[in-house]
Amino acid sequence: MEDATASASPRLAPTVKETRNGSRLEEFRMKQDVLPFSAFLTDKHGRQHNYLRISVSERCNLRCTYCMPEEGVPLTPSSKLLSATEVVRVAKLFASQGVDKVRITGGEPLLRKDLPRIIEQLHEMNLKSIGITTNGILLPRLLPELISSGVTAINISLDTLIPQKFEKISRRPPSAWYKVWKGIKMAEKLDPQKYTLKLNCVVQGGINDDEICDFVALTKDQRIDIRFIEYMPFSGNKWDVAKMVSYQQMVDTIRKVYPDFQKLEDPWNHTAKAFRIPGHVGQVGFITSMSEHFCGGCNRLRITADGNLKVCLFGNAEVSLRDAMRDGASDEKLLSLIGDAVQRKHPKHAGMLNLAKMENRPMILIGGHHQLLRSFSTTKLDNNNNNNNPDSPSSTTTSSSLSHVDSRGKAQMVDVSEKKVTTREAVAEATVNLSHETFQAVADNKMKKGDVLTVAQIAGIMGAKHTSNLIPLCHPLPLHKVDVNLELNYERRCVIIRALAKTTAMTGVEMEALTAATVAALTIYDMCKAMGHSITITDIKLIKKSGGKSDYSLKQ
Ligand SMILES: Nc1nc2c(ncn2[C@@H]2O[C@H](COP(=O)(O)OP(=O)(O)OP(=O)(O)O)[C@@H](O)[C@H]2O)c(=O)[nH]1
Ligand SMILES: C[S@@+](CC[C@H](N)C(=O)[O-])C[C@H]1O[C@@H](n2cnc3c(N)ncnc32)[C@H](O)[C@@H]1O
Ligand code: SF4
Ligand code: SF4
């Protein structure tokens, strides 16, 4: 997976130093004068956050399987949700710092009765775009009022064109599908010059991937853009890699029916990759959060319905603006909380398979009270939620001197985001000692289970790729090369395995090389054990590593 971070960063913001009393306002103020965009909203990777997503409701009139856990979600008492006045205050503050795009989401935002009033006040802030993302059920009733209150971008979610299937996906009767469809049809016609219209479709293998081309066909005559969303993992949604249909698979499916399906240029900070079919009115887009993240151009921050600022969709780090506001915080104090949180934003999400293992709010709540929440007043976002999560706060805030242990003695993954990206290489070795008979069978390729050396070589490569899943505090890394060589040593009757791993990243690959050698050795054991168990695996060791702060070479 390519990391777009480096190329997309227009300029690096200077790092804000930790100060003992926690007040960094002065430092932010000084940076305001030199940065081209708000210092509070520019992260240390140079990303300028001009897009704010505000969730205004945790409730929903659907129960989509990919979004809501089956048992539902605990709702925050309404007194703890942001009031319209608080929503508007937060939006105004962000707008004062350069946010020019706000999208209202949820839960289902149309369930919020004061929504048109909120939008009217957003409209007075001279934003470039005021969007809403809705399941569309209440659109037939509310569309005219939404338009007149100033909405400029309506995204409607619909995952199937078959009413009966809608029941399976949304756990609500097919009659609800007809309401959504009516809303879509109304939106296609009503005041089209006033707002853009997109249809969001989460694609799941074996559920609705057979409808991809039917959705594409909708773009022929109608002014609607269809966006296919890769299925993402959130707490409780039983995500399974087998159900995730990748962007590339979807493009391949569409090209079978529409061979001239054309890729368009994408603005660098857009969530979707855009395509069109010549002659069609609408476009087709893909939101590839899983197979090709777009974190390098991320310009998004979000406010949850209970008033937490969440700097990344896939991060647990949250800071309560609600508590701060209700404790009487001034706008400056709020800005400094926001600035601190933005500074801690990590360059990208944890990678597809790691995301599936992370705890995060269910999607419906990203948009109550939850065990993962951190309040600004309790701690400075501390280190106790580092479960392979790149959005966990930096280890620089810990008082512990042990890098893999936090202040409470719990294991933590070291924050390497400050380290330099360099090309790093490591070579590791392992030896498998065999009996005479077994050694001969391996050498003659006569083992019953198959070609031992080839299988072990592939196992070694696979092992390297899985290292971060096996070693708890090991960082997931992009591997650019893994080489596993197996040499038969006739004198010592052993197989010597040498594994090389290479990356260009912020941390090294010795664990990958060691894992490759070890897994290859275990595979030889497994392939040969039927001939006797007098097999030993010895001398698993690092031979050399280079490219990091300290190079190493084993003296032999
Ligand atoms: N990885 C990632 N995915 C996001 C983010 N924001 C939105 N998405 C994905 O985009 C999907 C559609 O989101 P929408 O609410 O329609 O917002 P949008 O795509 O930003 O809307 P536009 O303003 O039309 O670009 C969501 O379901 C997510 O799958 C984000 O910040 N990170
Ligand atoms: C959480 S919903 C909130 C707004 C509104 N209720 C709706 O459905 O449009 C926002 C978007 O997130 C998408 N979404 C929810 N869970 C998802 C998941 N697991 N993977 C990908 N997209 C998801 C929905 O399809 C929808 O387009
Ligand atoms: S995706 Fe939207 S409509 Fe479906 S359950 Fe989640 S919040 Fe509700
Ligand atoms: S996963 Fe996080 S960093 Fe990546 S695009 Fe989404 S919000 Fe931005």
Q: How confident is the model at residue 54 (pLDDT cuts 50, 70, 90)?
A: very high
Pocket test for ligand 2, best of 139, 202, 360 (most atoms within 8 A of CB): 202
pLDDT tens figures, 161-184: 999 999 999 999 999 999 999 999
Which residues, including other chains, have CB under 8 Å from residue 525's CB and lie 6 or more apart? 432, 535, 537
- Residue 530's SS3 state is helix
Burial of 46 (0-12, 13-18, 19+ CB in 10 A): middle
482 CA to centre of ligand 1 in angstroms = 35
- Judge whether 117 lies within some domain: no
Return the pLDDT at 422.
86
Q: What pLDDT score does 552 carry?
A: 81
Residue 30 lies in a domain: no
pLDDT band at 315 (very low <50, low <70, confident <90, very high): confident
Ligand 4: residues with CB < 6 A are 293-295, 298, 300, 312-314, 348-349
**Residue 36 within a domain:** no
- Which residue among 43, 344, 349 has the greatest number of ligand 4 atoms within 8 angstroms of its CB, and so is best to mutate? 349
Which residues, at least 6 apart from 535, have a Cβ–Cβ distance to it below 8 Å? 432, 433, 434, 435, 438, 524, 525, 528, 529
Kindly give the distance from the C-alpha atom of residue 248 to the centroid of ligand 3, in angstroms, as a whole number: 25
User: Among 300, 318, 352, which is best to mutate for testing ligand 4, by the most ligand atoms less than 8 A from CB?
Assistant: 300
Q: What letters, b where the CB count within 10 A reaches 16 and e where it falls short, cover 418-452?
A: eeeeeebbbbbbbbbbbeeebbebbeeeebeeeeb
- Is 196 part of a structural domain of the chain? no
- pLDDT at position 15 is 39
Q: How far is the CA of 172 from the centre of ligand 3 (A)?
A: 11
pLDDT value of position 387: 33
Give 400-409 pLDDT, tens digit per residue.
345 555 545 4
The interface pTM score, or ipTM, of the predicted complex is 0.98
**Domain count within the chain:** 1
User: What are the pLDDT digits (tens) for 248-267?
Assistant: 999 999 999 999 999 998 87
* 126 inside domain: no
Predicted confidence (pLDDT) at residue 269 exceeds the cutoff of 50 = yes
Which residue type is seen at 353?
L
Task: Kindly state whether residue 436 falls inside one of the protein's structural domains.
Answer: yes
Question: Ligand 3 centre from 109 Cα, in Å?
Answer: 10
Percent of the chain with pLDDT over 90: 65
Q: What is the pLDDT of residues 140-163, one digit of tens each?
A: 999 999 999 999 999 999 999 999
pLDDT score of 242: 79
For the entire predicted model, the pTM comes to 0.69
State how far the Cα of 335 lies from the Cα of 329, in Å rounded to an integer. Answer: 10
Chain Cα centroid distance, residue 218: 29
- Is the per-residue pLDDT at 389 higher than 60? no
Give the pLDDT of residue 464: 95
- Cβ density class 355-391: b for 16+ within 10 Å, e for less: bbebebbbbbbbbbebebbbebeeeebbbbbbbbbbb
Q: Per-residue pLDDT tens for 6-22? A: 333 333 333 334 333 34
Q: Is the CB of 105 under 6 A from ligand 1?
A: yes
What is the rounded average pLDDT of the residues 523-551?
Answer: 92
Q: Has residue 189 got a pLDDT over 60? A: yes
Query: Which token pair is 391?
Result: 């959005």
Give residue 331 CA to ligand 4 midpoint distance, Å.
Answer: 26
Which residues line ligand 2 at a C-beta cut-off of 6 Å? 60, 66-67, 105-106, 108, 133-135, 157, 200, 202, 229, 231-232, 234, 237, 363-364, 367
- Which residues are part of the catalytic machinery? 526
Residue 518 domain-assigned?
yes
CATH number at residue 478: 3.30.70.640
Handedness of CA 142, 148, 149, 155 (dihedral sign): positive
Q: Which domain holds residue 452?
A: 422-553
Average pLDDT for 414-421:
75
Q: Would you say residue 309 lies in a domain? A: no
Residues in the chain: 556
Q: What is the mean pLDDT of residues 99-128?
A: 97
User: Residue 430, SS3?
Assistant: strand
302 CA closest ligand 4 atom index: 7
Which ligand lies nearest the alpha carbon of 52?
1
